[in-house]
Chains A and B, each alone.
Chain A
Amino acid sequence: NAGVTQTPKFRILKIGQSMTLQCTQDMNHNYMYWYRQDPGMGLKLIYYSVGAGITDKGEVPNGYNVSRSTTEDFPLRLELAAPSQTSVYFCASGGTVEDTQYFGPGTRLTVL
């Protein structure tokens, strides 16, 4: 099992550009999450999904969009990138609501 994979590992964007961060899990988990982590700060929940076709906002959803068309994939879309979106983005998955969350390796995004 590969677990949770994320692509790309690193990306530099210009202000106003858009991009999609990819996340795939092979554990057949229903729950998937997107977090951002700024230096010295805790993980902040952006969006989450409890199953294919169902998504919900977390603590910091502004400037992001998600979709969940399959159990395995949970892409995060950034439209009109802003410097405030410079961060490390982690995708995670879990089998139930209180289950262990398995994290991907992260995507380091810089917006200049």
Chain B
Amino acid sequence: SQKIEQNSEALNIQEGKTATLTCNYTNYSPAYLQWYRQDPGRGPVFLLLIRENEKEKRKERLKVTFDTTLKQSLFHITASQPADSATYLCALGYSTLTFGKGTMLLVSP
């Protein structure tokens, strides 16, 4: 069956460092992959989309990579800030989106 794995443990980093979140998947061939941010008590908010034929996408301090051979996406936040603290969800898409459970990021001052 399809499986999406994101680190279940929270990622704790210091302000100014680069945060790297991992999304691994099995038994799936997504056409694209999206990353969302979710704050407590709120709905997810879209951050980035990357298609299967793209290796890397950037948006301001955000960078996402997509390796269809390794079946892995990495999501980077450079120069992290306490305001970046949230849960980050990866979602694999073909006709509909399948979401991972998310990884909580905590950025301390």
Binding site for B on A (CB under 8 A): 4, 33, 35, 40-45, 48, 58-59, 90, 92, 97-98, 100-106
Chain A proximity mask over B49-90: 1 for CB below 8 Å, otherwise 0: 101000000000000000000000000000000000000010
Binding site for A on B (CB under 8 A): 4, 31-32, 34, 41-46, 49, 51, 89, 91, 93, 95-102
A6 to chain B, nearest CB (A): 9
Q: Tell me the dominant secondary structure on chain B's binding face.
A: strand
Kindly list chain A residues whose C-beta atoms are within 8 Å of the C-beta of B96. Answer: 33, 45, 48, 58, 97
Q: Which residue among B4, B91, B99 has the maximum number of chain A CB atoms within 10 Å of its CB? A: B99
Contact B46 A101 (CB under 8 A): yes
Kindly list chain B residues whose C-beta atoms are within 8 Å of the C-beta of A105. Answer: 42-43
Kindly list chain B residues whose C-beta atoms are within 8 Å of the C-beta of A98. Answer: 31-32, 49, 51, 93
Kindly list chain A residues whose C-beta atoms are within 8 Å of the C-beta of B4. Answer: 42
